Structure 1
Amino acid sequence: MVKAPHGFVELVVSGRVVVPEAELEERFSRSSGPGGQGVNTADSRVELTFDLAASSSIPEPMRARMLQRLDGRLVDGRITVSASEHRTQLANRRAARDRLTEILREAATPPPAPRRPTRPTRGSKERRLQAKRSRSEVKRGRGRFTE
């Protein structure tokens, strides 16, 4: 995360991709769970939304890949992450941003190189056949004795 001049934090997805604060939308609501008397008054739950489909900070080929990979999580091209595990709003904001950064980073990684098919070596074929022969001998030795 990079500290922006106005005090908020930008999301660093990769070395070239930084999501500015202006493209993030936060909503706050009351959180369930621990918090004592303050749980009924403080809006500590955070919903962080990012419009991936309309983002200008992500290059087009990467955005297309991210949209495809996150298809099940997106609603109208927007991804939403919520955090309510901490008592304070600030800690939940950090947790939501960390989670969103991780999701975007994972979706942005390029696909692995395609596997090149290989053939078994002669030695590996011979070892396999020898193991089959020796296993067969073991099993044949378990037969009934006929004296």
Structure 2
Amino acid sequence: MIPVTRRIAIDERELSETFVRASGPGGQNVNKVSTAVELRFDVAGSPNLPEEVRQRLARLAGRRLTLDGVLVLRADRFRTQERNREDALERLLGLIREAAVPPPPPRKATKPTRSSQIKRVDEKKRRGNVKGLRRGRIDHD
């Protein structure tokens, strides 16, 4: 089991990795060695994810989620297969951790208190008087 959060852990058997050739520069090595990693995780079929986390993860995954509910992450930033495997796993765990955080509740609209309204108006008058004094206008309220 791979720990994700205190409450969520995913089974290593739920992950599937395939190795493909990386694109980009790399000289002769790039044409011979399959260093890029394609990590697949079945979001829809995972028994270890709570339903609300699964829904948020699907929303976060966007285009990386297939129609079958499988999250596909491709890692090819590094030149070695091992580093790309670690990178793909870290990105998956980061996505799941982000999905595990529930969204904040919507803000409740409140009315300002009567005393805060009076304070605000008094402060505006006081500032107006200060600025009026700078211009030579005297307005004593």
**1:126 aligned to which of 114, 118, 136:** 118
Q: In structure 1, how many angstroms separate the alpha carbons of the residues matched to 2:39 and 2:48?
A: 17
Q: In structure 1, how many angstroms separate the alpha carbons of the residues matched to 2:23 and 2:53?
A: 37
Determine if contact 1:29/1:44 at 8 Å carries over to the other structure: yes
Q: CA deviation at 1:43?
A: 0.8
Matched residue of 1:82: which SS? strand
| 1:92-122 deviation per Cα after TM superposition (whole angstroms, max 9, x unaligned) | 0000100011011111222223434333234
Question: 2:4 corresponds to which residue?
Answer: 13
**2:33 aligned to which of 27, 35, 42:** 42
Determine if contact 1:26/1:49 at 8 Å carries over to the other structure: yes
Determine if contact 2:53/2:96 at 8 Å carries over to the other structure: no
Q: Percent identity?
A: 45
Going from structure 1 to structure 2, the CA distance change for 1:12 and 1:46 (only over 3 Å counts) comes to: same
Q: CA deviation at 1:37?
A: 3.1
Matched residue of 2:23: which SS? coil
Determine if contact 1:66/1:107 at 8 Å carries over to the other structure: yes
Give 5+ residue unaligned stretches, structure 2: 136-141
Question: 1:32 corresponds to which residue?
Answer: 23
Structure 1 runs of 4+ with >4 Å offset: 134-137, 139-142
Give 5+ residue unaligned stretches, structure 1: 1-9, 143-147
Calculate the TM-score normalised by the size of structure 1. Answer: 0.72
Opposite residue 130 of structure 1, the aligned amino acid is D
Root mean square deviation of aligned Cα: 2.8
Going from structure 1 to structure 2, the CA distance change for 1:71 and 1:103 (only over 3 Å counts) comes to: closer
Calculate the TM-score normalised by the size of structure 2. Answer: 0.75
Matched residue of 2:62: which SS? coil
